[in-house]
Structures are given as structure tokens and as C-alpha cells.
Structure 1
Amino acid sequence: MRVAVIGASGRMGKNLITAIHDADGISLGAAIVKPGSSLIGVDAGEMAGVGKLGVTAVATLADCVNDFDVLIDFTTPTLTLENAAFCAQHQKAIVVGTTGLNDAEKARLNQVAQQSPVVFAPNMSVGVNLTLKLLATAAQILGDEYDVEIVEAHHRHKVDSPSGTALRMGEVVAEALGRNLKDCAVYGREGQTGARTQKEIGFETIRAGDVVGEHSVWFATEGERIEIVHKASSRMTFAKGAVRAATWLNGKAAGMYDMQDVLNLK
């Protein structure tokens, strides 16, 4: 399979190029950078620090439409939807790791999935997706007697809050408990908020320094607390997961998939 990476000159883009270079059965087909960038025409491998790959950076997907089978996109909601529509039009698969999509944007992505295969997950890490499975199991066993709190930390540059991963963790726990997260989520607390209600799921957010990503889910009751924690120390973990998803998409029919499908955790 030939993979295109958009945002190829960024931190995530370079990690993706490296992960593709190191993986078997997959190759870099295209690297897209911002229109007008001084890196247009530069070898993508040299840009990522893995040596020449014979793939030069271009400005748009239209410039490389014949050079890839699947696109990996970790950009912004607006750009991701544009790219997804392009992939559907040209019968390309897409792996979406973009966070911060609202309900309407997710609905548009689902429309794309009716025409092309899409893997969409707020976190591509294999470890995080295993953690989601553990959270569902814990919630089912512990039930409503345990208070649930989710604490997440990321670098100072992250623009959405809470993280997409934290929200997905909340959704998984809420579903396992028979709740709707929109009805029970509490985002931060300040002032005289009163006692905690039994069925709320709390979120706390930290933004500081260069933290790659940390998530901790508490299940607490009188006398004990269980914590399920995932800590990412390198963006490469997300890149490797995305490449695994891209490889898995080979030959898949149009549809909406997630990392639970990729890892056969359902």
C-alpha cells in the first residue's frame, strides 16, 4: 500500500513518515505540506531524517492523486473534512486521527464513509485502545457505586479540551454504565458546586510544557480507588498505530471503522 501523509513537515508528520519507512508491506507514496511552503520539492525522507525516499513534498492532494491508496490525516477538523471528501471522490481510503470534531463534523465524516473506507479514532495508540477495553470492563463490574473522574494532561500547544481521548474514555465508561455522557459529564469545578452527584463523570484538564499525553481514569468509592492510567512518552506511538490502521484498511469495503476494529477488540 502507498500512503500519503498530510502535514508532512510537522512533528506528527515526520513521525508518520518514519513509521511508514520502518513498517513492512507499506510505503510512502506522497507527502503534503502547506501551499507556499519552502519545503515543496524537498525529499520527504530527508525532511523526516530517515534519508532519501524518492518522494518529494507537494502542496495539495491534487498534486499527488495518483501516488497513494490511503491518506493519514492528523490536521484540523475543517481540513480533515475537505481531505476526506477528496478521498471519497477519488476512491481513496483515509485514516483520521484529528481531534476536536463536533457532532455535525462527525456526521459529515460518516457520510464520507458511505463511499470510502475510513478509520476514525481520537487516539491511534494501541495501548490507549486496549485501555478503552479495560475501562468498559471495569465500569461494568464496578457499576454505579463508584465515582468516575477522568484527568488528562497534554502539551501547551494542544487547542481542544478535554482531549478527544478523554472524551472517548468518558463515552466508553458511560455506555458501559447505561448513561449518556452528554447528560452526566461535568467539565471542571470551581466555587461552591455542592456535593458530587452519584452518576456524574468528571473531567479535569492540564495543559503544560511538552507533555505528549497522559490519561488517568479514577473509579473511587468509600475505602478504595482504582486508577487505570495510560502515559504516552512519544508521538511515535500514535504514528505506529495510524500506520497499522492504514495497513489494515487494505481491501476493506467502504464504512466507518475505529481502532477497536483494527485491533480486533470488539
Structure 2
Amino acid sequence: MNDALLRIAVTGVTGRMGKKIIQCIVKGEKKFSQKIILGAAITRSNASICGMDVGKLIKTDTLGITVTDDLELVKNDFDVLVDFTAPSISMEYLKFCVNNNKNIVIGTTGFNKADESCIMNASRKIGIVFSSNFSIGIALISRLLHRITHIIGDNSDISIVEAHHNKKSDIPSGTALMIKNTIVNALRSTHSIAAMNRNVDYPTYSSVSSSDRNISIHSIRAGNIIGEHTVLFIGSEERLEITHKALDRTIFAHGALHSAIWLGYDKVGLFNIGDTLGINALL
């Protein structure tokens, strides 16, 4: 299979990300068209679009691939599954991939600790790229924040502000929690008294603005905002702000497909977007 195109199955094809990923696969972008092909399109059980040609779904020519809600029917048609759905659905897809030795890219957010434990256990058998955000910009910021926190974290009030569209259900966003975790780990690794005295356990979020001591997350759900994240380090004499704004969901689709190509058929383990880009080793 070394000379064959990597076959991608896309889940949640009626959702924003599912459609965008399929469009990026089939519209013939050179960086993808020479490496991957759409192998299967998956939707939720008993969806009305089952049996529809994917081309009609994304308003293009007939592609000869029909939407299905049964992975068993297409298990021989793909090599890597790309999933941006919901936690409970993702867990079912993950179980299928483990049982059928298929690698998976997971961009779903809102998992609980039990789900994350399942993902970790599954990565002992298959290859998984799991990230809350698949943009290159966020991957770079995550690494940069670790260095910044080492230098000024103990002397700053730290806040994270995130904004998304009003249909996004998880609050705060998975990206905001990932950013917070990066900062928390950096504070711990300084071994300073100030870092050790911070309360760094994640609180239970029941509103759009919650905090634990000096690291707070403020969430906004409004309009059709794709995704915006700002990290503030505020000292007594200056304020540093780092902001990332997603202007189009294409950046997430590109990151997910790049990750699928990087993962391929044979890698085993748990990885994130930084691993696939080589960013984790840069800073």
C-alpha cells in the first residue's frame, strides 16, 4: 500500500467541520490530492442523507461515494478516520477503530476524564492524533506560552478569554483548557514557591466565566464567531496579550488532514498537532 493514496473516512459530514474536511479532500488541492482520497463519509444513525452521494452534499459533481451511518459497511474503504463530532459519538468511533486496527484523528472537544483515559488506552493499540485545536497558530502559541510563563508567570495575573459561535456547547472551549494546562504545567516546572502555592485544579464550570486564583477563563458564545483566544499576562507595570483568531474553518481541516497524512497506516501512540508539525521540539 506504500504507493496508494491514503484513504480518509470523515465523520459528522452534515456538520461544519465534516463538510469542510470533505471539501478540502475533493477539491483537488495539490498538497492533499497527491496523498489522500476520500474513502468514506459517515453520518449519525438513521440520518435522512444516508444513501446520498457526497458530491450532492457539498454541492459538487457526483463522487461515487454515498453517505452511510454504518461503519461496518465501509471498514474496508478507509485507512484513517477523521472525527469532529461529539464526545459520546467519538467514543463509539474510537472503539470501532481499535477493533478494526484503524488510525484516527480526533478534533472533538468536551471529553471528560474517563473519555480521555479511554483515548490514552486506545493509543497503545492504534495511532491517534488528538488535539482540541488543529490550527498551526494555536500549536505555535501553545509552545510559546510555555516559555513566556517560565519568565513572567509568577509575577503576572493570567487570564484567558475565548469566544465562539452561539451553537458551541462546551464551555470553556477545549482550546482554552489546553492553553490553561500548558500554563499550569509551566508554572509547576519552575519549582517556585509562587507556582506551588497556586490552586491549579480545574474547577467545575457552571457559567461562562470562572476562575481559580490567578488563572481565569472567560467564555463568550455569540453570533458565528469561528474561534478566538487571547491570553493576558498582566503585571504591575505592563500587560502582554497573545491573540489567535480563526478566520476560516479551513485552517482546522488542513491541520486535521495534515495529521492524517503524518499518522498514516502504521504509527501507534498518542500524538497532537504539535507532534505532526515538529513544533513540540522547537521551543
Shared fold, TM over 0.5: yes
Aligned to 1:11: 16
1:81, CA displacement in angstroms?
1.0
Are 1:93 and 1:118, in contact at CA under 8 Å, matched by a contact in 2? yes
Deviation at 1:225? 0.5
Equivalent AA in structure 2 for residue 183 of structure 1: V
Contact 2:7 2:80 in 1 (8 A): yes
* 2:162 pairs with 1:152: yes
Secondary structure of 2:229's aligned partner: strand
**TM-aligned CA deviation for residue 82 of structure 1:** 1.0
Q: Quick one: which amino acid aligns to residue 57 of structure 1?
A: V
Matched letter for residue 7 of structure 1: G
Where 1:45 maps in the other structure, the secondary structure is: helix
- 2:235 aligns with 221
Structure 1 spans left out of the alignment, 5+ residues: none
Distance 1:84 1:56, change over 3 A: same
Deviations 1:105-154 (A, max 9, x none): 10011111111100000111111111111111211221300111000000
1:59 to 57, 66, 69: 69
Which range moved further: 15-24 or 152-161? 15-24
Would you say the 8 A contact 1:185–1:202 is kept in 2? Answer: no
RMSD over aligned Cα, in angstroms?
Answer: 2.0
The one of 241, 245, 248 aligned to 1:234: 248
Alignment match, 1:45: 55
| Post-superposition offset of 1:7 | 0.8
1:142 matched to which residue of 2?
Answer: 152
Partner of residue 218 from structure 2, selected from 189, 204, 213: 204
CA displacement at 1:52 relative to structure 2: 2.5
Instruction: Show the counterpart of 2:104.
Output: 94
* Unaligned 5+ runs, structure 2: 1-5, 189-194
Corresponding residue for residue 183 of structure 1 = 200
**Equivalent residue letter for 1:249:** L
Q: For 1:88, what is the secondary structure of its paired residue?
A: helix
Instruction: Tell me which residue corresponds to 2:191.
Output: none
2:279 alignment partner, SS class: coil
Which TM-score applies when normalising by structure 1?
A: 0.92
* Residues 239-248 or 49-58, more deviating: 49-58
Alignment deviations for residues 235-266 of structure 1 (CA, whole Å, 9 cap, x no partner): 11111110010010014432111111111112
Q: Indicate whether 1:256 and 2:270 are aligned.
A: yes
CA distance in 2, matches of 1:27, 1:76: 24
**Mapped pair 1:75 → 2:85:** yes
1:19 CA drift (Å): 1.5
Letter in 1 for 2:12: G
1:111 correspondence with 2:128 = no
How high is the TM-score relative to the length of structure 2?
0.86
Q: Could you tell me how far apart the structure 2 residues matched to 1:189 and 1:13 are?
A: 30
